[in-house]
Structure 1
Amino acid sequence: MTFFLADSNKPIKTERKNYGGSQLVYVKNPHLDLMDEDILYHLDLGTKTHNLPAMFGDIKFVCMGGSPNRMKAFAQFMHKELGLKGDAKDMTDICAGTDRYCMYKVGPVLSISHGMGVPSISIMLHELIKLLHHAKCCDVTIIRIGTSGGLGIEPGCVVITDKAVDSFFKPQFEQVILDKVVVRSTELDQELAEELLECSREIEDFPTLVGHTMCTYDFYEGQGRLDGALCSFSNEKKLEYLKRAYDAGVRNIEMESTVFAAMCRLCGLKAAVVCVTLLDRLEGDQITASHEVLVEYQRRPQQLISMFIKKRLGLWNQKELLDNAVV
């Protein structure tokens, strides 16, 4: 796995530490080893104040989304799906000491919010990846679940991202470091995407497809909307741009996927992006579906990821056997 700095032709190789066949989360920062304590400020956690291996060492799946309420609901949903004891309503927000993010642990599943946009998810990912590293987590799969604007597809479709692309339809993320622009690859794990697609085929009336996801830095002008406080282009120019995006393979638009894909790739994490579409941007800019319809749409990525996790844990076949036994 290699990528190139924008100002260099020398590839940088990522490394993955392997112990006894298990894959540990890799952090590419030599300065961390020199620190007496690592404070994960925005998560309200730290290496001296918390026993991170004891708290998080068994994590195998990290699921994240923008909204704190949505990720709490997902945690409660997974509590039920995994058949865990206790009342899901009594779940404790691990990040309750901060108002930036929320985090819930459900067995081997970590559910965490990331806010909206590249800067917000980037901050969370830096601290989350360090958390997984300090906790000595192995073989972690990380998935972003959320909502998006569709492109040439019906509202309610679930898009599994194969490549996260920028506003120029390129599979890359540009990170400014000091006074240099570093270009990082945003390709996601293709085997994981195919596995998720296979899972979706087992859910009735569940429209799912694999396609490129375009990530922008802005919800209004950056996504070609006509309804922001500022707009300097015509409807014709907007449609011409969105159709070019469609022809380039883009099927949905959101605001986090490029940095998510780039950081997970660099740290050796198998990652996927699964988002439901709330509208077709070729048909309009504003979301007009009812609250009830939107709630149902938002459950679709959660339903797919639940099936995926249960299959990975061997619970889905067990449930089928139990159902057949009852019959």
Structure 2
Amino acid sequence: MASAGVETKKPGNDNDFVQLGNPHVATMKEDVLYHFSLSTSTHDFPALFGDVKFVCVGGSPSRMKAFIKYVAVELGLDVPGADYPNICVGTDRYAMFKVGPVLSVSHGMGIPSIAIMLHELIKLLYHARCSGVTIIRIGTSGGIGLEPGSVVITRQAVDACFKPEFEQMILGKRVVRSTDLDEQLVQELARCSADLGEFPTVVGNTMCTLDFYEGQGRLDGALCSYVEKDKQEYLRAAYAAGIRNIEMESSVFAAMCNACGLRAAVVCVTLLDRLQGDQISSPHEVLVEYQQRPQRLVGQFIKKRLSAA
């Protein structure tokens, strides 16, 4: 039975295999990952995914396909003319691509969308008997007090009240999970960015909200019950609390990975400084280059890890 309070217990991690926080799955005759259009009765998960060591997730299917193409080239696994087909071709909910030990998956926008994807992704890794997996969210965000194009490596995901927790109602009861991320992984990614030396990178907290407009203090939505002064006070308080960017997926991502014992990180580029405005005004080609920055950083991280193996 779900209960109130902070959930801190993690499942076991024997032999570093991916574990679930749900004993019922092991007793199921068939597990249908409906939103991936995959099933344990029709797909050989260990054969398809057993070698996965790195999972990168991001909002849009096109961005995650671009990422797998980039990683294929960086790892020397690119095949001329390769199309990298969508593994989840039977559904339009999510897209999934794979090259070597790297899996790239889209998650849509917002907490509900990424949460559904993560339930099925973690079960996929479990059924495939994957071990030693690192999972990283790469995406875009609004910055606070940062130059647009800066990359933020998240230390803690916090909610709109600046608390490092994710709250969910389960069976009518309030359950709170920790949103801490792997500090060793944070520092490893920071060193990789320093090695690259291509763009400004900071380590800071990330605020995860339930909404893009009022939830993030914007003045340009269809509804707004506050003024510029209120917005500025809120964002400056967030900055004082160590928050450097705002997005809509990091809290549940951190909470679910934490609860299943997965090493996880969040790497997002900022598209604007929210202290200076609410609308993204950079030219398209500039935004495209910004969005490639987390990909380049994570690609460098993966290459470095594999070369040390």
TM bucket, shorter chain: over 0.9
- For 2:112, what is the secondary structure of its paired residue? helix
Whether the aligned pair in 2 keeps the contact of 1:145 and 1:301 (CA below 8 Å) is yes
Distance, in Å, in 2 between the alignment partners of 1:100 and 1:186 is 26
Give 1:13 shift: 2.1
Q: Which residue in 1 is equivalent to 2:46?
A: 53
Q: Which residue in 1 is equivalent to 2:66?
A: 73
The TM-score, its normalising length taken from structure 1, stands at 0.92
1:293 is aligned to 2:290: no
Whether the aligned pair in 1 keeps the contact of 2:64 and 2:105 (CA below 8 Å) is yes
Distance, in Å, in 2 between the alignment partners of 1:12 and 1:242 is 30
**Greater RCO structure (CA 8 Å; 6+ sep):** 2
Distance, in Å, in 2 between the alignment partners of 1:44 and 1:98 is 6
- AA aligned to 2:253 is F
Give 1:85 shift: 4.5
Q: Which residue in 1 is equivalent to 2:10?
A: 14
Give 1:89 shift: 4.2
The TM-score, its normalising length taken from structure 2, stands at 0.97
Q: 1:268 to 1:300 in 2, by over 3 A?
A: same
Alignment of 1:249-260 (within 5 A): 249-260=242-253
- Alignment deviations for residues 126-163 of structure 1 (CA, whole Å, 9 cap, x no partner): 00000000000000000000000000010000000000
The structure with the largest alpha-carbon Rg is 1
Give 1:16 shift: 2.5
Distance, in Å, in 1 between the alignment partners of 2:225 and 2:13 is 50
Give 1:6 shift: 6.2
Q: 1:40 to 1:281 in 2, by over 3 A?
A: same
- Alignment deviations for residues 108-136 of structure 1 (CA, whole Å, 9 cap, x no partner): 00000000000000000000000000000
- AA aligned to 1:179 is G
Structure 2 counterpart of 1:239, from 217, 223, 232? 232
Alignment of 1:1-327 (within 5 A): 7-8=4-5, 12-19=8-15, 23-87=16-80, 89-314=82-307
- For 1:90, what is the secondary structure of its paired residue? coil
- Alignment deviations for residues 75-119 of structure 1 (CA, whole Å, 9 cap, x no partner): 111111111142364211000110000000010000000000000
Distance, in Å, in 1 between the alignment partners of 2:19 and 2:60 is 27
Distance, in Å, in 2 between the alignment partners of 1:125 and 1:276 is 22
- For 1:202, what is the secondary structure of its paired residue? helix
Q: 1:241 to 1:8 in 2, by over 3 A?
A: closer
Whether the aligned pair in 2 keeps the contact of 1:217 and 1:255 (CA below 8 Å) is yes
Whether the aligned pair in 2 keeps the contact of 1:173 and 1:262 (CA below 8 Å) is yes
Q: Which residue in 2 is equivalent to 1:325?
A: none
Aligned residues: 308
Whether the aligned pair in 2 keeps the contact of 1:62 and 1:141 (CA below 8 Å) is yes
- For 2:48, what is the secondary structure of its paired residue? helix
- For 2:285, what is the secondary structure of its paired residue? helix
Greater displacement, 213-222 / 29-38: 29-38
User: Percent identity among equivalent residues?
Assistant: 65
Q: 1:14 to 1:295 in 2, by over 3 A?
A: same
Q: 1:89 to 1:226 in 2, by over 3 A?
A: farther
- AA aligned to 1:72 is K
- For 2:204, what is the secondary structure of its paired residue? strand
Q: 1:85 to 1:169 in 2, by over 3 A?
A: closer
- For 1:277, what is the secondary structure of its paired residue? strand
Give 1:70 shift: 0.4
- AA aligned to 1:144 is R
Q: 1:124 to 1:88 in 2, by over 3 A?
A: farther
Give 1:15 shift: 2.3
- Alignment deviations for residues 269-327 of structure 1 (CA, whole Å, 9 cap, x no partner): 000000000000000000000000001100100000000000000089xxxxxxxxxxx
Q: 1:85 to 1:226 in 2, by over 3 A?
A: closer
- For 1:201, what is the secondary structure of its paired residue? helix
Q: 1:8 to 1:220 in 2, by over 3 A?
A: closer
- AA aligned to 2:263 is K
